[in-house]
Amino acid sequence: MLHQQHFQTASLYTRAGTRKYLTPAERERFIAAAQAHPLRDVRLFCLTLAYTGCRISEALAITGTSIEAHDGFIALRSLKRRNRAIVFREVPVPLWLLAELAAFSREREVRETLWQISRSWAWALVKAVMREAEIPDGAHATPKGLRHGYGLHAIRSGVPITLVQRWLGHARLTTTAIYLQAMGDEEREIASRMWLS
């Protein structure tokens, strides 16, 4: 019953019908604004969220030992598990970002987290970068909207849904399946053929 209820309530839209995800253009603007940010810690935090799709709390738990620069991934501790087991997932990240994160981490103690800020302050930093990127306020203009934007970007890039599930740390595939609901380029192309006939 709970499993079916979860599937029915999981959606990329609010009850009022507004979207909860960043569009591809908004995601690109967010990444550009993050890359242009003058403070390295803010820049790297926002880029880590954008390129991993992780939750804020998961990003705040990243230490220098989480960064596997030579193998091309960050080991993220999944913090939303229902049981008490400690679970890590490996998420591939662009090598240039891993190199910057590795350099950033060398300025800290090995087991020290990279960003020693509160979850609410981190949320405010992401929102500030979204304003810089001229992303209008709404349900989509949040860290969760950035996470949803990552999921959609991965699906639209042809990443198998099971990999997207693993990278996002979803316990159930039905949670990841919401990203299949959004219209992509292929669907628009098929629809445009219908309009021409």
pLDDT in tens, 17-67: 899 999 999 999 999 999 999 999 999 999 999 999 999 999 999 999 999
Closest to 161 (Cα-Cα) out of 186, 134, 135, 179? 179
Q: What is the mean pLDDT of residues 140-163?
A: 95
- Burial letters 122-149, b for 16+ CB under 10 A, else e: beebbeebbebbebeeebbbbbbbbbbb
List the 87-92 sheet strands across, edge first.
67-68, 73-78, 87-92
CATH number of the domain bearing residue 74: 1.10.443.10
pTM: 0.88
> 82 lies in which domain range?
2-196
**Burial (CB count <10 Å: 0-12, 13-18, 19+), residue 166:** middle
Residue 54: the pLDDT is 97
Between 109 and 52, name the one with better pLDDT. Answer: 52
* Model confidence at 122: pLDDT above 60: yes
What residue type is 85 in one-letter code? A
* Model confidence at 90: pLDDT above 90: yes
Least reliable range by pLDDT among 13-27, 57-71, 171-185: 171-185
* Model confidence at 81: pLDDT above 70: no
* Model confidence at 83: pLDDT above 70: no
d(CA 69, CA 81): 26
Q: What is the mean pLDDT of residues 123-142?
A: 97
Q: Which residues contact 152 (CB under 8 A, 6 or more apart)?
A: 12, 21, 24, 179, 182
Q: What size, in residues, is the chain?
A: 197
The percentage of residues in the chain with a pLDDT greater than 90, rounded to a whole number, is: 74
Number of structural domains in the chain: 1
Between 63 and 187, name the one with better pLDDT. Answer: 63
* Model confidence at 2: pLDDT above 80: no
d(CA 157, CA 151): 10
* Model confidence at 4: pLDDT above 60: no
Q: Which residue has the tokens 């800290």?
A: 108
Closest to 73 (Cα-Cα) out of 94, 43, 49? 94
